[in-house]
A and B are shown apart, each in its own frame.
Chain A
Amino acid sequence: MRRLVLGLDDRLGIAPILQKALRKAFPDNWSFMFGEVALYCFLVLVATGVYLGFFFDASTAPATYRGSDVALHATPMSAAYASVVRLSLDTRAGLLLRQIHHWAALVFIAAIALHMSRVFFTGAFRRPRELNWIVGMTLLVLAMAAGFTGYSLPDDLLSGTGLRIAYSVLLSVPVVGGYLAFLFFGGIFPTAAAIGRLLFAHVFILPALIAGAVAIHLAIVWRQKHTQFRGPGRTEQNVVGSPLWPNYAMKSIGLGLAVAATLAGLGAFFQINPIWLYGPYRAYDVSAPAQPDWYIGWLEGALRLGPSWSIDVANHTIPAPFFAGILLPAAFFGLLYLWPFLERRATRDGEPHQLLDRPSDAPVRTGIGAAVLAFAVVLTLAGSDDVQAGILSIPVQSMVTGYRWLLVVLPIVAGLSAYRIACELRARRSISQPDARVEIVRTEAGGFDERPESIPGGRR
């Protein structure tokens, strides 16, 4: 090890950088782990995905399946579907790794959403980190795209139906929709080109973009150093935490292994996306109920709750899916992308912030965040309203009416409640614990002096 370092330093002169890096401070807070969980999910996705790639046949040509699931022997299917069934049922460890891959994708996007919520509610996106908020938002969009393209690859009935809806949503864009849909799919749905294009996007374009964005994200974090919560000895001018080597490195490796173990456990014991039960995609077949992966649920819900408008303007049509499937997500992501700048304008606070807010420090932001989350949750729930209607024995039309009301009412209630609670917490805290804490020291002359509280166990 020593010889390696010396050898590298002979050639690259890395000693000062290395010394600084190994002693870099990483603040310890449980809420900082979501981003790491997402990163480790991505590594699991790459590792399992590389294996799956060797078995997938991205072809819609007719194929016959002669494997262990006898029920499928007589079913006409595409080569893509047959290859995934063979991988799942007739290849050792194939199903396990496919299920781990699918679970990792679900947890990946969940971890990104939690990480984003943490960053939002603690104000970590404020100057100087607006840039990294934008990189992070882009990662969320790329991760969702990667998830959806992967989900669509097996050419099963469920994902094919989802692809059909995606095509129709693209088609709905005013003026250019038809061209967009044709350029993406290579013609009128269903096309022979789609699966090959999805595979290329899923295994090359999107992972390359994600890897690039992750590299930028981490480089910015490294350069800017972490934010930290207020605490003894923590100021806007410093960052207090475990040293990278060995403390933080060991913890983080442990977390990565724990993530991998959890995903392995999920893949082993919790069935996910059993495509051999769904059957191959056929344009005139459909399964009911049809539910997408969780992160697409809010879009599915938006399409279900969306208004039944088909607007004719000057001999042209703006169809209904445009409003719920394009405008609404565009507004949602647009708001999130612009949030740091909107907040800066509203609060007239352009100062750099290295110390984090508690959610109760910024009641308005917390209220708006709670309202947006409530909005997304209602849409997601509405995405399975037919299943709930069946369980509750309520007509699905009543569910739709109910969810439309809830979509308006719940964000207002959640937002106002969060705002009130945050105000209350802030008011109580300002009475009981003043922000600045000091140490009182006895001076040599016998008097008392104040100095900022020192860090327990800290070295300067």
Chain B
Amino acid sequence: MMTRSFAIALTFACSVLGSALFAAAYAANWGPHLEGLGLFVSLAGLAAGTIGWALGAIAQEQVVDRRDDYPSDPAARAAAQAALERGIDELDRHGFLLKCLFGAFGALGLAALFPLRSLGPNFGTGLYKTKWRKGARLVLEDGTPVRVSDLAVGSMMTVFPDGYVGDASSQTVLLRLPPGTIQASEDRRTWTPHGYAAFSKVCTHAGCPVGLYLASKHELLCPCHQSVFDVVAQAKPISGPAARPLPQLPLEIADDGYLQAQSDYTEPIGPGFWQRS
């Protein structure tokens, strides 16, 4: 018995050393590992001592509780029910008042919902429009405008409308595709001058930036849920959970050789929502 209590006392002593190490590591700025080691030893020593004491040095015994707390005996139940019904009957004598009370509470509850509206702005046009406008120059993250000679065939860049660098809804991938690969529908023939094609960078599935470009297969890949879009075929989804193509930005080349947008996107960008179409 003496040795057992000695062992338990030893674990508590270890714990004190651990606490000391923690304090010293903090004071001397020894870094998270030694701070953590101190805290660990302090707590582990306490734990070992307490568990050792509970299992090894306390007389084990078993107690038996009876389960007779519930349900209550029939007389008590009947008495409670009677008390409840007495109150209900009393209130029911003025049943009209009771209805008024509930009605008034209901009205207050409904009225109290109104201020929730202030938590979000009006739906507005935010989900339908981006900052792209006719004539908006394509600029890089650092604000430099993109010239027609800037991109090599097979490369990709992230661009924004001039003046809105970093705008989440307007983020766009600009690609330069090999001549003759683009399969554009009749209405999009003029959107891809010199093999430049631009698509919304916001995935149509769950909104992650479609940031991975496989130039050899002309595929844009979303790293969040692995949707793949075929950029030569107007970015239609070819695998993964995305159901809609990435919206395409109509491009044109200004007289001074800089790339610019013909207009905003012609459909809402990003993940779908009820009022989308």
A in complex with B: yes
B interface, CB within 8 angstroms of A? 26, 29, 32-33, 35-37, 39-40, 43-44, 46-47, 50-51, 53-55, 58, 60-70, 116-117, 119-121, 123, 126-127, 141, 158, 166-169, 171, 201, 205-209, 211-212, 223-228, 237, 239-244, 270-277
Contact B205 A321, beta carbon cutoff 8 Å: yes
Most interface-central of B65, B209, B225 (chain A CB within 10 A): B225
Contact A187 B121, beta carbon cutoff 8 Å: yes
Evaluate whether A168 and B274 lie within 8 angstroms (CB atoms) in the complex, with A257-B47, A320-B241 already known.
Answer: no
A30 at the interface (CB under 8 A from B): no
Instruction: List the A side residues contacting B35 at CB < 8 Å.
Output: 92-93, 96, 268
Contact A250 B58, beta carbon cutoff 8 Å: yes
Instruction: List the B side residues contacting A267 at CB < 8 Å.
Output: 36
Most interface-central of A128, A308, A386, A456 (chain B CB within 10 A): A308
A-B contact pairs, 11 of them (CB 8 A): A93-B26, A171-B272, A171-B273, A224-B70, A257-B50, A264-B40, A287-B223, A303-B225, A320-B205, A397-B240, A459-B64
Give the 3 A-B CB pairs with smallest separation, nearest first: A268-B36, A319-B272, A182-B120
For the complex, count residues of A whose C-beta is within 8 A of B.
102
Instruction: List the A side residues contacting B166 at CB < 8 Å.
Output: 282-284
Q: How far is the CB of A285 from chain B (nearest CB, A)?
A: 7
Q: How far is the CA of A459 from the CA of B64 in the complex (A)?
A: 7
Contact B272 A172, beta carbon cutoff 8 Å: yes
Contact A308 B51, beta carbon cutoff 8 Å: no
Q: How far is the CA of A285 from the CA of B211 in the complex (A)?
A: 7
Q: How far is the CA of A167 from the CA of B169 in the complex (A)?
A: 14
Contact A457 B120, beta carbon cutoff 8 Å: no
Contact A92 B223, beta carbon cutoff 8 Å: no
Instruction: List the A side residues contacting B67 at CB < 8 Å.
Output: 225, 236-239, 354
A interface, CB within 8 angstroms of B? 23-25, 92-93, 95-96, 99, 128, 161, 164-165, 167-169, 171-179, 181-190, 223-225, 233, 236-243, 246-247, 250-251, 253-255, 257-258, 260-261, 264-265, 267-269, 282-290, 300, 303-310, 312, 315-321, 324-325, 354, 385-386, 396-397, 400, 455-460
The secondary-structure label for the interface of chain B is: loop
Q: How far is the CA of A62 from the CA of B101 in the complex (A)?
A: 51
Instruction: List the A side residues contacting B275 at CB < 8 Å.
Output: 178, 316-317
Evaluate whether A304 and B36 lie within 8 angstroms (CB atoms) in the complex, with A179-B120, A253-B50, A285-B209 already known.
Answer: no
Contact A290 B120, beta carbon cutoff 8 Å: no
Contact A457 B60, beta carbon cutoff 8 Å: yes
Instruction: List the A side residues contacting B169 at CB < 8 Å.
Output: 188
Contact B224 A286, beta carbon cutoff 8 Å: yes
Contact A238 B66, beta carbon cutoff 8 Å: yes
Instruction: List the B side residues contacting A284 at CB < 8 Å.
Output: 141, 158, 166, 168, 171, 201, 209
Instruction: List the A side residues contacting B228 at CB < 8 Å.
Output: 397
Q: How far is the CA of A165 from the CA of B223 in the complex (A)?
A: 12
Instruction: List the A side residues contacting B201 at CB < 8 Å.
Output: 284
Q: How far is the CB of B44 from chain A (nearest CB, A)?
A: 4
- The one of A237, A255, A325 that contacts B66, using a Cβ cutoff of 8 Å: A237
